């Protein structure tokens, strides 16, 4: 640790510039004793200058500290200080200060291991600054910060605070910019969204237009095809008509020819011969080869005779075959009887099923196989119909159930929506209740603060403080410190001049060779000072007259009168400033209230406008017919009427739907019409049931549509009804709330005008007083300079007079050296006494000024407390208003919740009712479905039994037993028939033989008959040909279709084309509107305000967020640094106060003060004794705390103003400190005192072998002598 070893002093203050004075510093005590004025304090000043580079107080850049070469008559300055010390690392360092060096000033404290502030304020403290711990709080805080090395941190706190404030302003600006960009961004987003929406709609419309165009083309193609087909059909119809007329004519001709032919040939014997000719060619051949035919007839007659013989042979064979068939038929007839009984059973079952299920009429029994097969197929085909009926029933049941379920879901959605809204209101109410509790706690907290504040007491204290301040001002004016101090300074100066005169007189004894030179220099200096003084007075003469009301006092009284004028104007200025501050606070409070009123009105209007926009937007969204808030009641009434109408329609449709299912059951069960009871055939019943199911299905869809419309109408009414509260609040705000707020604003504005006028008057007076104060303050420095010059002129004049007197009367009245020395000692004692009195006056002045400053500080603090109380009152009112608003909002929410609860009850009952109806309908329909399913199963069983019987009958037929029986019977019949034919043929052959013989006998008649037959056959062939052509044409017509069908289809297609053209034109018109909107929105987006809006918004958002985060970091840094600094300060002050308490209890002998401590950087002690002792103890405590690396402590005149006992106690305490530090090698205590008793108490041999005594030689140069320590 660092210690000082030696110091050389030369040419500093009273030390001889030609001789070197060296002092060695001992451990642990270096004691320096000497009379006042001997130069002891110069040693401390040299130590301080060497270590810190700081000149002593009032040194004025070295003046009066270093020997002046002009006064000494030298050409160079010979002041020098050398210091040898050991650093904290125990290394020797030599420092020589012959001139100032800033680098050395920074280097030495670092080498010594302590800061410059500790060297200045703790280790090496000048005698004039020994009581610095008792200075004003601001100065004391600064010194403590320097000692604690916290100055840079306090500056950092100030910088952080300023940065935080500036950053807050920037953040407000950024927020405003961001809000503006947000508005633009939302507008741009809406434009883009509108463009995208319109483009999507345009694309959709384009696709629809293409579809419509394709459909129109298809319809046009169909119309063209129908027209062509219709044209072809009409052409075919014309051909059929022509052919029919032609055939009719030929057919009549044919009938005539046939009739004539029948009459002619009725009795003709050769008719059969001609008739048997198969073709026209044969007849023609007969005509051309008649003779040949006659020959053939003769040949044929021969042939017939042979055939007659053959027939007789065949007849005998057939008789034998008939006998064999009779035997086989008897066997098969038995099996046929069994098959017949099965057929009867089958026929009975078919008749029962047809009768039971009304499948249509039946022919009388028995049924043929084909009929039975047909009936069986009809029965089997009925089974898929029943299955289809069952499926249709299932589908219709599902549709009805879905309709009922949809109604339930609509009711359930309404109930869920209402319940969710109610829950939201419950949550909102809970949040409002919490906010009300927080606001009540805040209000109670503020009321608790108000309860601790007594405004009347504060006003009384303020009044008392102002009275006390006036009393202090009067007391300071009565004491007239300035004049007394000036008088004492004059006396002190007079004594110093006498001392100087005696010193000069003493020096005269040595010789006066330089006296004339000095006289010349003094005269020139005197003239120069007088010129400066006259110049200052002349420059400010008019200002002085203006301040002193036209008077110009004497030079010696000028400073005193200007000082009194400054004090009076300052007091008046401070008083007016306080009043203006109070008036300004009242104006600011009213401005704040007006701003709050404006904000409240603006907020109410915005709230009213937002409610209006909300209600209007809801009305527009719910019913486009109404768009303004004034039409709300009309819209509500219209919605109510629409809901009632839709509900009535739904109930009517529901009643009609419930009739379809009973009608179907009655028709199926009784096969009659449920209304007129007319019986149904199977086809009529199926058609009726089908029609009922179609109607039921259609009515189900219609019911679903009506249910949706009814639900929509009810939902519209409910949503409009929910807006009732918002509408009532809107009306209330427009008629009551806003007018009341505007009246309150007008009242505050009138009060503000009055207060502002009073403030303007005060500020005008204050400006005038400030102008006067500034004009006086401008004079203070010149007047002080003039007064200083006047004092210097007086002193210089005295010196000139003394020199002139000395030169004129040098030989007269010369005193002896002993007399002069005795007189000098007496004058020195008087000077010291005057100096002490002067210091006491200054201390009293400082104390009273401090007291005055303290009173002002307390007055300002009281004013601040009053303003704070007003702010608390305002906060209480604001909290109560906010609480009232929250309570009102809570009551509104409770009303909404109550309304929703009342709404939920009917909705819940309606939902449960619909659910029960759904369950009942489901059970009912399931039961009907089960019954119909059972009927279908029974029918399937009956079909199965018929199929089994039919299988046995089919087996009989598959074995062809019936066919065999039939074949045998047919064979028998055929044999009998052949036998009969054979007999008949024999007869025929005989008759034919006879006719042929007759033909030969009648040849001419035969030839004419042949020609008639040929004509008839030709006509008949033409008729047949026309018939085939007509049938072909009719077949073509049937294949193509009927004309009426194509005509109706053509009308239908024409209507469809017109509808598609209408839809196409509507889509094109709508698309043109969307394209126009797209163009307009794109033009709007091209405006400069929307350019890069997303990027600008994002950049601004990033800038705002980073600024906010940086500002929060600054706030955290500030709080952390402030807390750390306060914590460090508190810890150090606790440590210092602990040491102060111990040292005080060891040192102070009185019983009235137990201990002292420094609190809030302030220590106020009134008595000079306590001041000196407390200051000394605080320095010792600071040295104990901070001088760990530097164990040096210099005490300059520690016993000043201490009485005997306390001085002894201080000596004891110092001895104890040295005893405690015995083991610390670097501990050095440097004590400078003029108190011999105190020096003897601490100057003991165990602490030091020698002490230093400082005296002055005959030339008044200080001399340092080492002497043996006191016994």
Residue 120 has pLDDT above 80, yes or no: no
Question: Residue 453: what pLDDT?
Answer: 64
Mean pLDDT value of segment 85-95: 66
pLDDT in the model for residue 1160: 45
* pLDDT exceeds cutoff 80 at 523: no
pLDDT score at 836: 79
- Pick from 82-86, 990-994, 1145-1149: least confident: 1145-1149
Please provide the average confidence, as pLDDT, over all residues in the chain: 75
Task: Tell me the mean pLDDT in the region 254-267.
Answer: 63
Q: Which of 211-220, 652-661, 892-901 has the highest mean pLDDT?
A: 211-220
**What's the pLDDT score for residue 1033?**
75
Q: Determine the average pLDDT of the residues in 601-624.
A: 75
1263 or 1186, greater pLDDT: 1263
Beta-carbon count within 10 A of 423 CB: 12
Is 1097 in contact with 178 (CB distance < 8 Å)?
yes
Tokens of 519: 């006289």
Whether the pLDDT of residue 71 is over 80: the answer is: no
Tokens of 233: 């059909």
Is a pLDDT exceeding 60 seen at residue 383? yes
| Band (840; pLDDT cuts 50, 70, 90) | confident
Report the DSSP beta bridge partners of residue 1262: 15, 1256
3-state secondary structure of 253: helix
Is the per-residue pLDDT at 162 higher than 80? yes
> With 50 as the cut, is the pLDDT of residue 267 above it?
no
> How large is the angle between the packed helices 724-732 and 682-722, nearest 10 degrees?
20
Residue 1106 has which token pair? 């980073």
According to DSSP H, which parts of 53-150 are helical? 69-72, 102-112, 116-118, 137-147
Of residues 35 and 1016, more confidence is placed in 35
Task: Say which DSSP state 13 is in.
Answer: T
Confidence of residue 812 (pLDDT cuts 50, 70, 90): very low
Task: Note whether 48 and 120 are within 8 A (CB).
Answer: yes
State the pLDDT at residue 68: 59
Instruction: Report the candidate in 868, 867, 879 with the shortest Cα–Cα distance to residue 444.
Output: 879
CA quadruple 94, 96, 102, 103: dihedral, nearest 10: -30
- Report the distance separating Cα 1093 and Cα 570, nearest Å: 59
**What distance in Å separates the CA atoms of residue 467 and residue 614, rounded to the nearest whole number?**
62
Give tens-digit pLDDT for 686-720.
777 777 667 666 666 677 777 777 777 777 777 77
Question: Cβ distance 807 to 511 under 8 Å?
Answer: no
Mean local confidence (pLDDT), 160-164: 84
pLDDT in the model for residue 1106: 87
Q: Where does the pLDDT of residue 94 fall: very low under 50, low under 70, confident under 90, or very high at 90 and above?
A: low
Residue 1053 φ/ψ, nearest 5 degrees? -65, -35
What order of strands is seen across the sheet that includes strand 92-97? 21-24, 3-10, 80-86, 92-97
Q: Which of 361-370, 621-630, 634-643, 1155-1164 has the lowest average pLDDT? A: 1155-1164
What is the pLDDT at residue 1226?
66
DSSP structure string for 410-439: HHHHHHHHHHHHHHHHHHHHHHHHHHHHHH
pLDDT of 235 reads: 81
Residue from 1201, 499, 1174 nearest 839 by CA:
1201
Q: What pLDDT is recorded for position 56?
A: 77
Angle subtended at Cα 722 by Cα 903 and Cα 720, rounded to the nearest 5 degrees: 115
Angle, CA 802 vertex, CA 801 and CA 807 arms, to 5°: 100
Which of 1199, 1205, 1271 is closest to 1235 using CA atoms? 1199
If pLDDT is split at 50, 70 and 90, which confidence band does 130 have? low
Mean pLDDT value of segment 38-58: 80
The number of beta carbons lying within 10 Å of the beta carbon of residue 31 is: 25
- pLDDT band, very low/low/confident/very high, at 1166 (cuts 50, 70, 90): very low
Cut 0.75: pTM above it: no
Predicted local distance difference test score (pLDDT) of residue 915: 83
Does pLDDT of 1235 surpass 80? yes
Phi, psi torsion values for 736, nearest 5 degrees:
-125, -55
pLDDT tens profile 434-491: 888 887 888 787 777 766 666 667 777 777 778 878 877 778 777 777 777 778 778 8
> Which range has the top average pLDDT, 110-114, 197-201, 854-858, 1174-1178?
197-201
Joined tokens for residue 479: 């004491």
* Per-residue pLDDT at 659: 63
- Look up tokens 């009655």; give the residue: 666
With bands split at pLDDT 50, 70 and 90, how would you rate the model's confidence at 279? low
Contact 1169, 1205 (CB under 8 A): no
More reliable by pLDDT, 286 or 459 = 459
At 822, which helix (H) or strand (E)?
Answer: helix 817-958
327-349 per-position pLDDT tens digit: 777 777 777 777 777 777 777 77
Segment 174-198 mean pLDDT: 86
Q: Average the pLDDT over 878-885 and give the result.
A: 80
Kindly report the number of other CB atoms within 10 A of residue 112's CB atom.
27
* Interatomic CA distance for residues 336 and 331, integer angstroms: 9
Reply yes or no on whether the pLDDT at 541 is more than 60: yes
> Cα-Cα-Cα-Cα dihedral of 976, 978, 980, 985, to 10°?
-170
Q: Is 1187 annotated as a binding residue?
A: no
Q: Torsion angle, CA of 947/951/952/955, rounded to 10 degrees?
A: 170
Output the CA–CA distances (angstroms, integers) from residue 149 to 116, 141, 1176, in the order listed. Answer: 10, 12, 21
Question: What is the reported pLDDT for 266?
Answer: 47
Task: Write down the pLDDT at residue 690.
Answer: 72
Tens of pLDDT, residue by residue over 927-944, are 888 887 887 787 777 778
d(CA 870, CA 834): 53
Structure tokens at 328: 């086989």
* CA triple 525-528-530, angle to 5 deg: 110
326, exposed or middle or buried, with CB in 10 Å at 0-12, 13-18, 19+?
exposed
52-56, 149-153, 494-498, range with the lowest pLDDT:
149-153
d(CA 641, CA 631): 15
Nearest to 1244, CA basis, from 1216, 1263, 1204, 1225: 1216
Q: How confident is the model at residue 76 (pLDDT cuts 50, 70, 90)?
A: low
Residue 862 predicted with pLDDT over 80: no
Flag whether pLDDT at 663 surpasses 70: no
Tokens of 56: 């002593």
Q: Is 1067 annotated as a binding residue?
A: no
Domains present along the chain, CATH in parentheses = 3-20+38-151+1127-1198+1217-1252+1263-1268 (3.40.50.300), 157-265+1041-1085 (1.10.287)
The pair of structure tokens assigned to 1244 is: 């003991």
Confidence of residue 275 (pLDDT cuts 50, 70, 90): very low
Q: Which residue has the tokens 């509790």?
A: 437
Helices (H), 452-514: 455-479, 481-510
Q: Tell me how far apart the alpha carbons of residues 58 and 45 are, in angstroms, rounded to a whole number.
A: 12
DSSP string, 600-666: HHHHHHHHHHHHHHHHHHHHHHH-TT--SGGGHHHHHHHHHHHHHHHHHHHHHHHHHHHHHHHHHHH
For the stretch 731-756, pLDDT in tens is 888 888 888 888 888 888 888 888 88
E strands in 638-742: none
The pLDDT, as a whole number, for residue 695 is 67
CB 1229, CB 1193: distance < 8 Å: yes
Rounded to whole angstroms, the Cα distance separating 1198 from 1210 reads: 9
To the nearest whole percent, how much of the chain has pLDDT over 90? 0
> Which region, left, alpha or beta, applies to residue 816 given φ > 0 means left and ψ of -120 to 50 means alpha?
beta
Between 112 and 949, the more confident residue is 949
């Amino acid at each position: 640790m660092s210690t000082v070893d030696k110091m050389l002093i030369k040419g500093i203050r009273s030390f001889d510039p030609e001789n070197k004075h060296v002092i060695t510093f001992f451990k642990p005590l270096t004691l320096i004793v000497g009379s006042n004025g001997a130069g002891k304090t110069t040693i401390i000043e040299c130590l301080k200058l060497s270590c810190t580079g700081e000149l002593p107080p009032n040194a004025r850049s070295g003046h009066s500290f270093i020997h002046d070469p002009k006064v000494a008559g030298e050409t160079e300055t010979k002041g020098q200080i050398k210091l040898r010390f050991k650093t904290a690392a125990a290394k020797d360092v030599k420092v020589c200060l012959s001139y100032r060096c800033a680098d050395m000033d920074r280097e030495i404290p670092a080498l010594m291991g302590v800061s410059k502030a500790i060297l200045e304020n703790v280790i090496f403290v000048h005698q004039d600054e020994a009581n610095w711990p008792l200075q004003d709080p601001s100065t004391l805080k600064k010194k403590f910060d320097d000692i604690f090395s916290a100055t840079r941190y306090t500056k950092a706190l100030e910088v952080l605070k300023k940065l935080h404030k500036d950053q807050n302003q920037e953040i407000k600006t950024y927020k405003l910019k961001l809000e503006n960009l947000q508005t633009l961004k939302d507008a741009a987003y809406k434009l883009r969204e509108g463009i995208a929406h319109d483009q999507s709609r345009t694309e959709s419309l384009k696709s629809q237009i293409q579809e419509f165009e394709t459909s129109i083309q298809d319809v046009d193609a169909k119309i063209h095809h129908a027209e062509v087909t219709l044209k072809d059909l009409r052409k075919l119809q014309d051909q059929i008509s022509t052919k029919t007329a032609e055939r009719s004519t030929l057919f009549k001709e044919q009938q005539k020819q046939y009739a004539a032919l029948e009459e002619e040939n009725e009795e003709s014997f050769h008719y059969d011969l001609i008739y048997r000719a198969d073709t026209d060619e044969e007849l023609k051949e007969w005509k051309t080869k008649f003779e040949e035919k006659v020959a053939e007839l003769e040949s044929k007659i021969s042939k017939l005779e042979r055939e007659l013989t053959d027939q007789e042979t065949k007849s005998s064979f057939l008789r034998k075959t008939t006998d064999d068939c009779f035997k086989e038929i008897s066997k098969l007839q038995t099996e046929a009887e069994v098959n017949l009984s099965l057929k009867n059973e089958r026929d009975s079952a078919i008749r029962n099923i047809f009768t039971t299920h009304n499948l249509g009429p039946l022919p009388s029994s028995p049924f043929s196989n084909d009929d039975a097969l047909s009936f069986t197929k009809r029965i089997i085909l009925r089974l898929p119909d029943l299955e289809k009926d069952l499926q249709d029933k299932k589908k219709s049941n599902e549709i009805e159930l879905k309709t009922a379920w949809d109604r339930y879901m609509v009711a359930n959605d309404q109930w869920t929506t209402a319940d969710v809204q109610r829950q939201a209101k419950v949550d909102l109410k809970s949040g409002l209740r919490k906010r009300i509790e927080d606001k009540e706690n805040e209000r109670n907290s503020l009321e608790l603060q108000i309860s601790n504040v007594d405004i009347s007491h504060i006003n009384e204290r303020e009044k008392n403080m102002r009275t006390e301040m006036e009393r202090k001002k009067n007391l300071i004016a009565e004491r007239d410190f300035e004049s007394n101090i000036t008088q004492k300074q004059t006396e002190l100066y007079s004594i110093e001049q006498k001392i100087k005169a005696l010193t000069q007189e003493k020096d005269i004894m040595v010789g006066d060779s330089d006296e004339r030179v000095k006289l010349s220099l003094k005269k020139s200096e005197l003239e120069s000072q007088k010129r400066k003084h006259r110049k200052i007075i002349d420059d400010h003469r008019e200002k002085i007259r203006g301040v002193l009301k036209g008077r110009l006092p004497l030079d010696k009284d000028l400073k005193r009168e200007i000082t009194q004028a400054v004090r009076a104007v300052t007091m008046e200025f401070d008083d007016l400033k306080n009043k203006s501050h109070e008036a300004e606070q009242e104006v600011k409070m009213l401005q704040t209230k007006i701003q709050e009123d404006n904000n409240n009105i603006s907020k109410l209007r915005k709230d009213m406008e937002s409610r209006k926009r909300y209600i209007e937007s809801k009305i527009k969204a719910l019913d486009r017919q109404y768009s303004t808030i004034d039409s709300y009641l009309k819209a509500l009434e219209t919605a109510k009427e629409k809901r009632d109408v839709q509900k009535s329609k739904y109930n009517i449709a529901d009643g009609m739907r419930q009739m379809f299912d009973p009608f179907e059951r009655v028709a199926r069960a009784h096969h009659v019409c449920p209304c007129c009871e007319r019986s149904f055939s199977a086809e009529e019943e199926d058609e009726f049931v089908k029609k009922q199911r179609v109607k039921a299905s259609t009515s189900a869809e219609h019911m679903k549509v009506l249910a949706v419309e009814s639900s929509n109408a009810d939902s519209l009414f409910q949503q409009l009804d929910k807006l009732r509260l918002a509408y009532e609040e809107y009306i209330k705000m427009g008629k009551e709330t806003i007018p009341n707020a505007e009246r309150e604003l007008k009242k505050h504005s009138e009060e503000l005008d009055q207060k502002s006028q009073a403030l303007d008057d005060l500020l005008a007076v204050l400006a005038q007083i400030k102008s006067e104060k500034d004009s006086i303050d401008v004079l203070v420095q010149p007047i002080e300079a003039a007064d200083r010059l006047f004092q210097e002129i007086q002193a210089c004049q005295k010196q000139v007079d003394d020199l002139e007197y000395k030169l004129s009367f040098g030989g007269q009245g010369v005193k002896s050296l002993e007399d002069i020395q005795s007189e000098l000692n007496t004058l020195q004692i008087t000077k010291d006494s005057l100096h002490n009195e002067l210091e006491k006056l200054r201390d009293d002045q400082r104390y009273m000024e401090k007291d005055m400053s303290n009173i002002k500080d307390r007055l300002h603090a009281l004013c601040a407390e009053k303003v704070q109380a007003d702010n608390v009152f305002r906060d209480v009112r604001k909290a109560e208003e906010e609480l009232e608003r929250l309570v009102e909002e809570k009551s509104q929410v409770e009303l909404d919740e109550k309304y929703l609860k009342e709404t939920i009850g009917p909705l819940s009952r309606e939902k449960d009712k619909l659910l029960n109806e759904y369950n009942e309908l489901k059970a009912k329909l399931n039961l009907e479905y089960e019954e119909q399913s059972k009927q279908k199963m029974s029918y399937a069983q009956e079909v199965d039994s018929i199929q089994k019987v039919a299988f046995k009958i089919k087996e009989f037929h598959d074995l062809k037993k019936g066919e065999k029986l039939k074949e045998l019977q047919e064979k028998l019949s055929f044999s009998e028939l052949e036998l009969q034919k054979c007999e008949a043929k024999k007869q025929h052959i005989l008759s034919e033989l006879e006719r042929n013989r007759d033909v030969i006998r009648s040849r001419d008649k035969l030839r004419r008959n042949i020609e008639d037959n040929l004509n008839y056959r030709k006509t008949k062939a033409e008729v047949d040909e026309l018939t085939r052509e007509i049938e072909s044409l009719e077949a073509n017509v049937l294949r193509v279709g009927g004309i009426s069908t194509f005509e109706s289809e053509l009308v239908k297609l024409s209507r469809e084309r017109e509808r598609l053209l209408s839809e196409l034109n509507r889509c094109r018109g709508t698309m043109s509107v969307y394209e126009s909107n797209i163009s307009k929105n794109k033009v709007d987006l091209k405006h400069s305000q929307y350019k890069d809006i997303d990027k600008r918004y994002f950049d601004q958002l990033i800038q705002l967020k980073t600024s906010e985060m940086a500002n929060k970091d600054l706030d955290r840094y500030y709080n952390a640094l402030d807390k750390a600094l306060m914590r460090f300060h508190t810890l150090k002050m606790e440590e210092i106060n602990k040491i102060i308490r111990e040292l005080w209890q060891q040192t102070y002998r009185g019983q009235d003060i137990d201990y002292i401590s420094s609190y809030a950087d302030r220590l106020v002690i009134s008595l000079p004794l306590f001041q000196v002792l407390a200051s000394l103890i605080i320095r010792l405590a600071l040295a104990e705390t901070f001088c760990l690396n530097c164990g040096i402590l210099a005490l300059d005149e520690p016993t000043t103003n201490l009485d005997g006992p306390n001085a002894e106690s201080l000596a004891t305490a110092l001895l104890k400190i040295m005893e405690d530090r015995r083991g610390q090698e670097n501990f050095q205590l440097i004590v400078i005192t003029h108190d011999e008793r105190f020096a003897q108490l601490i100057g003991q041999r165990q602490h030091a072998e020698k002490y230093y005594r400082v005296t002055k030689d005959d030339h008044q140069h200080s001399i340092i002598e080492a002497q043996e320590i006191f016994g």
